[in-house]
Copies of this chain bind each other. A is one copy, B any other.
Amino acid sequence: MNRRPTLEDVAARAGVSRALVSIVIRDAPGAGVQTRARVLAAADELGYRPDARARMLGRSRTRLVGVSFGVAHAFHGDLVDGLYVAARDAGYELALSAATARRGEAEALAGLEQDRCEGLVLLGPQLPTARLVAAAQHLPVVVVARAVRSRAIDVVRTDDAAGLHLTVDHLTGLGHRRIAHVDGGSAPGAADRRRGYAEAMARHGLTAHTCVVPGGLTEDDGAAAADALLALPRRPTAVAAFNDRCATGLLDRFRRARVDVPGEVSVVGFDDSRLARLSHVDLTTVAQDGDGLAALALGRVIARLDGAPVDRREVVLPPRLVVRGTTAQARLDSLD
């Protein structure tokens, strides 16, 4: 538990200069084969580990990208995974900073700003735009999964409207016409999803059947919406929920009311979260391309760092429909 060995220690043991050890450790050219082996052996014997922080200090570039994420969001986990992969490929390191119940996003961001990052990737930040813009004045900032109205910030997100187009197309393909949408209120993305729903319904000539029920992000919101739907004189045969949690609430309420899913009503979620994949939920849903978002986000940060021209401030990725067990052919007797 004594002081951790430094380059100097390794140099002394191998009988060479500090600089040479540095060369060997970095695997840089300029060292003889035998010496290289000797140095490596000495480093190994001492259990030497390069000090990443000192290393970055000495170097002009840190090749460090800061990432803030919400510890409660399962999807952020997928994004972090994708970011690690992308960073490894590009030769960058990641510095994580979590937003938790008692450690706000402001703190998470401030932490990264002290950490010598060259750029920042913020996952679904709820911070005021002004704060994001302030951060972007010092280093390139890419926001993932949230729209930001500012020319100072790069945004990478999923095409929410397209997600509902996919959903409605799928449902009409199954013969559904009375398709309702349980929306997300003022949640990020909700407006786009509402718009996508309305557009798609219109495209299929179903404007008359358009029906938006107020919902929200949680199971309880879904449950409440289910009650509202069940009370309707002419129930919809399919429901496009704002997200998977909301859809789960719907499913539960329908099941309790002995309304068969997908026999009597089809349900589609949004997110393809773990929840949707559970075998006993088996929810048809819209999946976001986590790896795509991650790779694109990191790519943009790096492009900015390299001074490469970045064309658009906002990149929107198409989602993908994952068909599972909560959608089925509309029953003939239920058609208009």
Contacts and interface: CB of A to CB of B under 8 A. Distances in A.
A248 interface: yes
A114 B248 contact: no
B71 A98 contact: no
A279 B219 contact: yes
Contacts of A113: 49
Interface in A49-78: 49-54, 56-57, 71-72, 74, 77
Q: How many copies does the complex hold?
A: 2
Interface stretch (A79-87, A142-150, A169-177, A187-195): A79-87
A249 to B, nearest CB: 6
Given A85-B103, A279-B223, A52 B97 contact: no
Contact of A81 (B71, B249, B274): B71
10 contacts: A49-B113, A50-B114, A51-B116, A53-B53, A71-B81, A80-B100, A84-B98, A223-B280, A248-B278, A249-B280
Nearest to A96: B96
B49 A114 contact: yes
A75 to B, nearest CB: 11
A112 to B, nearest CB: 10
B77 A138 contact: no
A280 to B, nearest CB: 4
Interface residues of A, number: 50
Interface in A266-286: 274, 278-280
Nearest to A255: B255
Nearest to A62: B53
A102 B115 contact: no
Interface of A: 1, 4, 47, 49-54, 56-57, 71-72, 74, 77, 80-81, 84-85, 88, 93, 95-98, 100-103, 111, 113-116, 137-140, 219-220, 223, 248-249, 252-253, 255, 274, 278-280
A170 to B, nearest CB: 25
A102 to B, nearest CB: 5
A1 B137 contact: yes
Contacts of A116: 51-54
A97 B100 contact: no
Contact of A72 (B77, B98, B111): B77
